Structure 1
Amino acid sequence: MAETAKANNLKPYDYFVYLLEEIPKHMDDTDRSFLNDLLPWSPNLPDGIRKN
């Protein structure tokens, strides 16, 4: 996962923190489509986890 994050110009630590904050918000969801927004190549990721 860390290498995939790096390959997509993300800061791995910040990306992992983001995942660990976001995934619990969806634990009761039956629709897993939110996972597409968490993929390292998603344009919907916050700018703060991207390398400058």
Structure 2
Amino acid sequence: MYIIIDTINGAKASAIIYSIAETAKANNLKPYHYFELLLTEIPKHMEDTNLDFLDDLLPWSEKLPVECRKQNQ
């Protein structure tokens, strides 16, 4: 099953992605690197019942890798 933007589910998925990207930008993160981190780390925890690991992945977390952060100029 494909979710495309011109369906209700596609619009919802797009809104979630845009929201994450804009929140990353607002927190001085590089959106591409932030998405890459999320898409590699979250699958590692699919069997976890404790979701505390998500706190470290929030865009304002001090524990995010330096690669995700924009350089101060």
Specify the TM-score bucket, using the shorter chain as the normaliser: over 0.9
* TM-score normalized by the length of structure 1: 0.96
Query: Structure 1: any 5+ residue segments left out of the alignment?
Result: none
Distance 1:36 1:47 in 2: 17
Question: Post-superposition shift, 1:2?
Answer: 0.7
Q: Calculate the aligned-residue CA RMSD, in Å.
A: 0.5
Question: Post-superposition shift, 1:38?
Answer: 0.5
Q: Percent of counterpart pairs with the same letter?
A: 69
Equivalent of 2:60 in 21, 38, 41: 41
Number of aligned residue pairs: give it: 52
Query: Structure 2: any 5+ residue segments left out of the alignment?
Result: 1-19
* TM-score normalized by the length of structure 2: 0.70
